[in-house]
């Protein structure tokens, strides 16, 4: 029986967690709390058990639902807003921050569509194994455990949003409904009309993201702790945020979970195709981070014949098929749509729901709608409306393409044709790239199918795409390996999968890591290379030599001989590698891989490639990377600004810095005119990592929506900046 839902209003250490099928903001009307009782997970200093007893004695009207002490120190509480607001004043409560909400959405195609390029999850299982007896935890939006293809696999779970033991997906009566977790679970272990990668694996579901895909750092960390407590073997996290740093709280928690013996698989994110776009917790050094592979498919493009330019489009969920039979004029409009009839309307992504934007254009007679992103990269949106479905195609394009079209329209009329391209197998454009700032790790570790994946959703099946869909392929593959080798350690399982991955030709390591997973080869491998992705970090000195100790494991009963190919001599780069060595039967050997760099002989930036290790007829590719002096990585990211919970007169902010910085300024600009308004804040002593603070509402000036320009002054005196949008409430 379902429990009554209580919508979580706040949590601690909130980071905007994005389901790795991309996101759009949820409206306040969609997430309205209809119950006076709310839930909160707080992080505490000291012993959580002692603090639990204290609260039970002195605050009996607040229920302590759970205590956390493995991955972080915290308590889960329930009560009304008035009583919970008193918790913030307790000395042992570290902080409480607001939650940003997102909607879990992605491109869907009807199962019977002629244009369907559906990929079936079971296709990668070329083994006799089914994951039987392996426990897989799915930390997500919950799952529809009544789905006929999942009912055999579902064992148990917990809801970290409502703090009960019912991890069902959000339904419409409770807020914006979700389907993401059910789709992820089906990829791993569907066992009915559709079969997942490991159809006999046991599924444990943890609802860390509520209506519209809302979640926070602590909800995710608490879900990780609960999964570890429940004894799962593998955890899948198809979520993330925009902070490209290794020391974010969720990344630290993931590493701790791995240390406790659980393999953690994480989606790399959908902010590609630029470098440095992988976000936490996929940045965790011990996680198995996954990028998305797109199989060959027929996809639509828009074509400007005058400029000979193609524009990639991502059709939105719930819109008509993008199949315009001739060229159409494009107009750039926002409110006045009087001349939209018979044209393609170009709109910018913003706070108005996609459906509302598109519906107004349709009512004005538009033949199609293009919505361009307001941040870098592509996104996937939804215009679904069962009561009044759209009859015109609606698609997303990148910010870069949208701004290019805007400039073209200022000069001349633009007519776009619809064309199609048969793509070859390769990395999906949306798949986030590495490396990770600060420690310069190569991410993703591997890639797996992540485009047009057919799986379970509440009430049926859908095709979705994103690194959210790639990660569960890897979680399922690990379940196969775990069944085949129940005595293997977490390191052996994940490193066997990495060692035997197949690199795609002409693709760099920061795009694909080790390459495409091959579960069958991983199960029967004779060799496991431990930590095979070699990051030598940042090289700053005139001449610098760095060595990584690589561990080679021989899994056979016979001695094996190995040899490295010596790379070609390159100006400024010298390798020292063991040419030939042996590893005894069923044992490991550590060998040094040494890199010497003369920095002035090389340009600044990322240097990457692959070293070749041979073992008889087997060839293994070890990706390597180093940064010469500096590179074009973002120096500031993850600026978050909003009202402090339980307060209407104080705001809180967070900003993550990746480099030593002298000073940070945040200035506000009018969002309509882009004219300078005023300075919001200054950080005079910024630290590498997370910087946090509070500002009284009285110091903020006029309320409204602003463009915020974050400018950092680096140690060398150079300036870098980026912009985002913030809201100051009346």
* Residue numbers annotated as active site: 140, 180, 468
Rounded-to-integer distance, Cα 300 and Cα 44, Å = 51
- The two structure tokens encoding residue 1: 């029986």
DSSP state of 131: -
- The DSSP code sequence of 503-561 is PPTT--HHHHTT-B--HHHHHT-SEEEES-SEEEEEE-SSEEEEEEEEEEEE-SSS-EE
What is the chain's length?
730
Q: Are 71 and 257 in contact (CB under 8 A)?
A: yes
Tally of CA atoms within 13 A in the half-sphere of 580 that contains its CB: 2
Strand partners, 25: 102
Chain mean position to CA 660: 26
Q: Are 314 and 373 in contact (CB under 8 A)?
A: no
- The DSSP code sequence of 141-198 is S---TTSTTTTTTEEEEEETTTTBS--PPP-GGGSS---HHHHHHHHHH-BSSSB-SS
The residue among 630, 246, 592 whose CA lies nearest residue 443 is: 246
Rounded-to-integer distance, Cα 535 and Cα 564, Å = 18
* Sign of the dihedral through C-alpha 342, 343, 344, 349: negative
Q: Are 347 and 369 in contact (CB under 8 A)?
A: yes
Q: Are 591 and 501 in contact (CB under 8 A)?
A: no
Pairing state between β 135-140 and 234-237: parallel
Q: Are 293 and 428 in contact (CB under 8 A)?
A: yes
- The two structure tokens encoding residue 168: 């069902």
- The DSSP code sequence of 424-493 is PSEE-TTS-----TTT-----SEEEE-SSEEEEETTEEEEE-SHHHHHHHHHHHHHHHHHH-TT--HHHH
């Amino acid at each position: 029986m379902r429990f009554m839902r209580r919508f979580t209003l706040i949590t601690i250490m909130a980071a905007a967690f994005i389901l790795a099928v991309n996101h759009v903001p949820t409206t306040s009307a969609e997430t309205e709390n209809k119950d006076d009782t709310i839930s909160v997970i707080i992080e505490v200093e000291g012993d959580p058990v002692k603090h639990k007893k204290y609260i039970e004695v002195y605050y009996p009207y607040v229920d302590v639902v759970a205590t956390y002490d493995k991955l972080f120190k915290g308590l889960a509480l329930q009560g009304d807003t008035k009583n919970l607001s008193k918790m913030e004043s307790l000395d042992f409560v570290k902080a409480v921050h607001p939650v940003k909400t997102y909607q879990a959405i992605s491109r869907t195609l009807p199962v019977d569509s002629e244009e369907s390029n559906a990929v079936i999850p079971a296709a990668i299982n070329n083994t006799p194994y089914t994951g039987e007896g392996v426990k897989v935890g799915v930390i997500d939006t919950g799952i529809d455990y009544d789905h006929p293809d999942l009912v055999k696999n579902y064992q148990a779970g917990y809801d970290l949003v409502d703090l009960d033991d019912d991890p069902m997906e959000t339904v419409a009566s409770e807020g914006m409904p979700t389907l993401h977790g059910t789709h992820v679970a089906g990829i791993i272990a569907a066992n009915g009309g559709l079969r997942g990668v490991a159809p006999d694996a046991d599924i444990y579901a943890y609802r860390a993201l509520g209506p519209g895909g809302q979640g926070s750092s602590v909800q995710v960390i608490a879900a990780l702790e609960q999964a570890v407590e429940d004894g799962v073997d593998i955890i899948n996290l198809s979520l993330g945020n925009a902070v490209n740093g290794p020391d974010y709280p969720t990344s630290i928690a993931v590493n701790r979970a791995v240390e406790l013996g659980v393999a953690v698989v994480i989606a790399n994110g959908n902010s590609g195709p630029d470098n440095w776009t992988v976000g936490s917790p996929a940045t965790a050094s011990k996680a198995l981070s996954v990028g998305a592979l797109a199989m060959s498919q027929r996809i639509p493009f828009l074509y400007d014949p005058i400029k000979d330019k193609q524009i990639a489009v991502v059709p939105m969920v719930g819109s008509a098929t993008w199949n315009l039979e001739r060229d159409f004029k494009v107009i750039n409009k926002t409110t006045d749509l009087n001349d939209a009839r018979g044209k393609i309307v170009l709109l910018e992504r913003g706070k108005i729901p996609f459906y509302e934007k598109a519906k107004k254009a349709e009512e004005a007679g538009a033949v199609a709608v293009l919505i361009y992103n307001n941040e870098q990269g592509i996104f996937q949106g939804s215009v679904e409306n069962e009561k009044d479905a759209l009859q015109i195609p609606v698609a997303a394009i990148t910010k870069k393409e949208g701004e290019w079209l805007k400039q073209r329209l200022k000069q001349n009329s633009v007519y776009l044709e619809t064309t199609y391209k048969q793509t070859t197998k390769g990395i999906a454009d949306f798949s986030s790239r590495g490396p990770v700032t600060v420690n310069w790790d190569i991410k993703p570790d591997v890639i797996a199918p992540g485009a047009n994946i057919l799986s379970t959703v509440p009430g049926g099946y859908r095709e979705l795409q994103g690194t959210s869909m790639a990660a569960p392929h890897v979680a399922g593959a690990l379940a196969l390996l775990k069944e085949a080798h129940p005595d293997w350690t977490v390191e052996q399982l994940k490193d066997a999968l990495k060692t035997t991955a197949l690199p795609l030709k002409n693709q760099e390591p920061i795009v694909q890591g080790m390459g495409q997973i091959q579960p069958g080869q991983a199960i029967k491998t004779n060799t496991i290379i431990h930590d095979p992705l070699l990051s030598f970090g940042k090289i700053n000195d005139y001449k610098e030599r760095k060595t990584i100790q690589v561990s080679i494991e021989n899994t056979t009963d016979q001695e094996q001989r190995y040899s490295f190919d010596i790379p070609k001599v390159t100006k400024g780069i010298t390798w020292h590698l063991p040419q030939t060595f042996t590893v005894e039967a069923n044992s490991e050997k550590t060998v040094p891989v040494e890199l010497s760099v003369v920095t002035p002989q090389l340009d600044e930036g990322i240097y990457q490639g692959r070293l070749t290790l041979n073992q008889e007829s087997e060839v293994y590719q070890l990706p390597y990377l180093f940064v010469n002096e500096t590179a074009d990585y973002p120096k500031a990211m993850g600026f978050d600004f909003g009202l402090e919970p339980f307060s209407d007169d104080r705001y809180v902010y967070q900003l993550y810095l990746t480099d030593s910085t002298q000073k940070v300024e945040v200035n506000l600009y009018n969002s309509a005119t882009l004219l300078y308004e005023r300075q919001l804040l200054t950080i005079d002593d910024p630290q590498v990592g997370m910087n946090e603070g509070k500002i009284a509402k009285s110091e903020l000036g006029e309320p409204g929506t602003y463009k915020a320009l974050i400018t950092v002054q680096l140690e060398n005196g150079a300036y870098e900046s980026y912009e985002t949008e913030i809201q100051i409430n009346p």
